[in-house]
Amino acid sequence: MMTCGEVDRLITPFVDGEGSLEERAGVLTHLQQCHECRTRVEAEATARHLLREQAAVARTMGASPPWRPRVFRLGQPTLLVHPMALYFVLIISVGLAALWFRPARVMAVGVISDSFCEHDHRRFTTIFNASDRQCTLGCVRAGAEFVLVTDAQVYRIRNQHLAELAAFANRRVKIEGKMEDGRILIAKMTAIDPFPVRGRSMSQR
């Protein structure tokens, strides 16, 4: 059976799914008998899993993570700190990274419009003798997206399938949700105006 020293040099490739079948079988046999080595393998596997998850989150945001999971080797003999101390430092770091990359909560008040007209429907309502609401719905049918127009900016909306978007077209609403990839993922939408405003553009409100 392998010694603890032999297993120590194989922990990293073992956790990464590498090594020969003979080596992996030897490590597994040793881990069944050695609680200390088994604890080290579990700690390193957990830390690597958390780091890979945060790396995946960073990549979805268009940022290359400044670390490589394989660099973090728990139990490396040359380290001057205890492996479990490094493990807890990594867990805390990953937790802070999770808070940093967590989607920002959003609460905004504005009018449900479309991405073609945004602030001003007059170029279409005048030609087609339609209300702002009819213009919004017509533009969406033609390929535009629903958007939320506030006094400060125009927010793109992630979950375009919500039935409330068509129901609240050209109405002032309060939206609660979170930002994902630069768009609001709506969790709750509440109408503020009782009825859609007809016959005037958003720029006139």
My answer on whether 114 and 188 are in the same domain is yes
Claim to verify: residue 31 and residue 97 sit in the same structural domain: yes
Which has the higher per-residue pLDDT, 115 or 84?
115
Packed helices 21-33 and 35-60: angle between N→C axes, nearest 10 degrees: 120
Mean pLDDT for 153-163 is 92
User: Is residue 89 domain-shared with residue 112, that is, in the same domain?
Assistant: no
| pLDDT for 11 beyond 50 | yes
| Structural domain ending residue among the three candidates 56, 76, 101 | 101
Domain coverage including residue 90: 4-101
Give the domain-ending residue among 43, 66, 101: 101
Number of domains making up the chain = 2
Q: Are residues 184 and 110 in the same domain?
A: yes
Q: Which of 101, 135, 154 is the last residue of a domain?
A: 101
Is there a single domain that holds both residue 144 and residue 175? yes
Three-class DSSP labels, 112-150: EEECCCCCCCHHHHHHHCCCHHHHHHHHHHCCCCEEEEC
User: Within this chain, do residues 53 and 97 fall inside the same structural domain, yes or no?
Assistant: yes
148-173 average pLDDT score = 92
Domain identity same for 33 and 109: no
Nearest alpha carbon to residue 112 among 147, 160, 152: 147
Kindly report, residue by residue over 69-112, the tens digit of the pLDDT: 444 444 444 444 455 666 666 667 666 655 555 557 889 999 99
pLDDT band at 118 (very low <50, low <70, confident <90, very high): confident
Amino acid 108: pLDDT: 92
Asked whether the predicted pLDDT for residue 203 surpasses 50, the reply is no
| Phi, then psi, of 48 in degrees rounded to 5 | -65, -40
pLDDT, average across residues 130-142: 89
Which residue did the predictor score with more confidence, 94 or 169? 169
